[in-house]
Amino acid sequence: MKRIYLTGAAVIVMVLCSSSAWVKLTLIRPSELVMPENIRTIALLDRTKQEDNSQNNLEQVVTGEFFRQDEQAVLQVAEGFIDACSGMNRFQLVRTAERYTSNGTKTTFPEPLDWNTVSDICNKYQTDALFSVEIFDTDFLLSNMPVRIDVKDDQGNISTRLEFKATGVAVINIGIRLYDAANRVILDEYHTTHRLNFDAQANTLQAAMNQLLDKVEAINQASFDAGLVYGQRITPTYYRVTRYFFDKPKKELGDGVRYSEVADWQGAINSWLEVVEKGNRKDAGRAAYNIAVAYEVLGDLEEAKKWAARSHTEFEEKDADEYYRLLSDRIREEEVVKDQLPE
């Protein structure tokens, strides 16, 4: 049995093509950074306004930027950040209408905000910290290439036709600082380039290009995604996985699978226990593996790990070793999450 962890449409394809049973779980991933417990509320600030000079005006003309395009995209960064933080309720986020001029460039950080300014903003919005977007630049790159496709007609004859694939890449160069107003510490200084690809394919190049998102919408989507990624950096977030387990041989494992289909996981465990006790080594190993999955669904990770270990060591089920490691990783992650979420 091949177990692959996918989400969305790809999962549907795997389920249709696989003889395995499956169940989806919602798990929690710890954040990369641990925020101090005193940080509960965060104000959102756009500090990307550029000086109104001839050089910056010329750049907007040369790059084809629409009116207030970057300003709208920065708002999407904030919305992505809010979306990522909404699941855990770790932070209360406050949108502001503040837009500060940067004394840096579109690729380098400006000097940090002075602490009196940080305190004034946080006091105004009654927050503990300030999330400040301080570098922001966008680009939208287009490429195209012909694609040859073999087509079989009703008589089995194969012909080749030419189609065109257009690719748009939204590129976001972003820099974020997170200021702790009370302790006057910069908690994070984050600078990265975020890319999001958009593809379309059609019989003509123009048709393929027409199917792509327009530049503004593509930039806005990539900006939202960049904010989402940053939110996942500082707060635990939910994610979905699919666990596959054995449904064959049907005679031995089928009863337990039917219990699982109606979410009676204890009934499934009881059915598979009989196979562990009375079945041959291969069937018992698969049943023990399934019991491990059932206990994970029920939230008893230590019991799940015990059964995965038994499936691997006692019955030599080859997939159980990987699953044991996966469960061990999940247990460690959940311990980290507990530390990251204050009471």
Six token digits for residue 2? 């091949």
DSSP 37-59: TT--EEEEEEEEEPP--HHHHHH
State whether residue 98 is helix, strand or coil: strand
Residue 293 CA to residue 306 CA, distance in Å, equals: 11
Per-residue pLDDT averaged across 180-193, rounded?
97
Domain boundary residue, one of 192, 208, 235: 235
Same domain, 266 and 212: no
Same domain, 72 and 213: yes
- Tell me which residue has tokens 């500082």: 234
**Is the pLDDT reported for residue 54 higher than 50?**
no
63-67, 178-182, 263-267, 288-292: which has the minimum mean pLDDT? 63-67
**Is the pLDDT reported for residue 212 higher than 90?**
no
Per-residue pLDDT averaged across 34-41, rounded?
94
Residue pair 327/18 in contact by the 8 Å Cβ criterion:
no
**Is the pLDDT reported for residue 317 higher than 80?**
yes
Domain with 180 in it = 41-235
In a domain, 34, yes or no: no
Per-residue pLDDT averaged across 75-82, rounded?
97
Same domain, 162 and 300: no
131-135, 150-154, 170-174, 177-181: which has the minimum mean pLDDT? 150-154
Q: Closest Cα to residue 275, out of 288, 260, 262, 266?
A: 288
In a domain, 15, yes or no: no
Residue pair 135/116 in contact by the 8 Å Cβ criterion:
no
In a domain, 272, yes or no: yes
Q: Which amino acid is at 187?
A: L
Per-residue model confidence (pLDDT) at position 13: 29
Same domain, 177 and 294: no
Residue pair 97/74 in contact by the 8 Å Cβ criterion:
no
> Residue 53 — very low, low, confident or very high, per pLDDT cuts 50/70/90?
low
Name the percent of the chain lying above pLDDT 90.
Answer: 71
> Residue 11 — very low, low, confident or very high, per pLDDT cuts 50/70/90?
very low
Q: Beta partners for 158?
A: 152
Same domain, 81 and 107: yes
Q: Is the dihedral of CA 273, 241, 306, 309 positive or negative?
A: positive
Per DSSP bridges, beta strands 41-49 and 21-29 are: unpaired
**pLDDT tens per residue, range 123-155:** 999 999 999 999 999 999 998 888 888 878 788
Number of domains within the chain: 2
Kind and range of the H or E run holding 123: helix 115-125
Q: Which amino acid is at 14?
A: M
> Residue 343 — very low, low, confident or very high, per pLDDT cuts 50/70/90?
low
Q: Closest Cα to residue 293, out of 254, 332, 319?
A: 319
Please tell me which residue, 115 or 339, carries the higher pLDDT value.
Answer: 115
Residue 216 CA to residue 75 CA, distance in Å, equals: 13
Please tell me which residue, 143 or 80, carries the higher pLDDT value.
Answer: 80
Q: Beta partners for 24?
A: 242
Indicate the pTM of the whole model: 0.80
Six token digits for residue 13? 């394809």
In a domain, 19, yes or no: no
Per-residue model confidence (pLDDT) at position 58: 40
**Is the pLDDT reported for residue 63 higher than 80?**
no
Same domain, 215 and 275: no
Count of CA atoms in the C-beta half-sphere (13 A) of 173? 11
Per-residue model confidence (pLDDT) at position 51: 77
Looking up residue 254, the CATH number of its domain turns out to be 1.25.40.10
Residue pair 148/162 in contact by the 8 Å Cβ criterion:
yes
In a domain, 11, yes or no: no
> Residue 239 — very low, low, confident or very high, per pLDDT cuts 50/70/90?
very high
No. of helices (H) and no. of strands (E), the chain: 11, 7
Same domain, 221 and 85: yes
In a domain, 167, yes or no: yes
In a domain, 52, yes or no: yes
Same domain, 111 and 65: yes
**Is the pLDDT reported for residue 62 higher than 50?**
no
**pLDDT tens per residue, range 277-305:** 998 999 999 999 999 999 999 999 999 99
Domain boundary residue, one of 201, 235, 269: 235
Per-residue model confidence (pLDDT) at position 106: 84
Per-residue model confidence (pLDDT) at position 314: 97
Same domain, 303 and 183: no
Same domain, 193 and 275: no
DSSP 144-192: EEEEEEEEE-TTS-EEEEEEEEEEEEEEEEEEEEEEETTTTEEEEEEEE
Residue pair 268/245 in contact by the 8 Å Cβ criterion:
no
In a domain, 170, yes or no: yes
Q: Tally the residues of the chain.
A: 343
- Report the chain's terminal Cα–Cα distance, integer Å: 41
Same domain, 77 and 206: yes
Domain boundary residue, one of 235, 256, 283: 235
**Is the pLDDT reported for residue 55 higher than 80?**
no
Same domain, 163 and 288: no
Per-residue model confidence (pLDDT) at position 61: 39
